[in-house]
Structure 1
């Protein structure tokens, strides 16, 4: 079995990857996906009536 050592540098790289890259990309994907679903539903079902 390999002896894996995690250093502060590895943890910092992982944090930057998660906080700077993955979290904003995931937020944009979720908001964009929700907007796309609303847009497509309005194309199929018509605009909201009030």
Structure 2
């Protein structure tokens, strides 16, 4: 009976681990990383906007 129970545990561990890795991948790929990407691009745009408010828009140097 011990052999059967250890074989059963050996088969279940890779399956549950694979499922956990798949769920982790899906959460990262479709949940966290898109939010991080939008935040980075939005943050950069905000910094450029603030820079232009303080120092003026780009253009030829004033004479």
Q: TM tier, shorter chain?
A: 0.7 to 0.9
Deviation beyond 2 Å, 4+ runs, structure 1: none
| Larger CA Rg, structure 1 vs 2 | 2
Q: CA RMSD in A?
A: 1.3
Q: What TM-score do you get using the length of structure 1 for normalisation?
A: 0.82
Provide structure 1 residue ranges, at least 5 long, that are not aligned to the other structure. Answer: none
Structure with greater helix share of residues: 2
Higher relative contact order (CA 8 A, sep 6+): 1
Q: What TM-score do you get using the length of structure 2 for normalisation?
A: 0.66
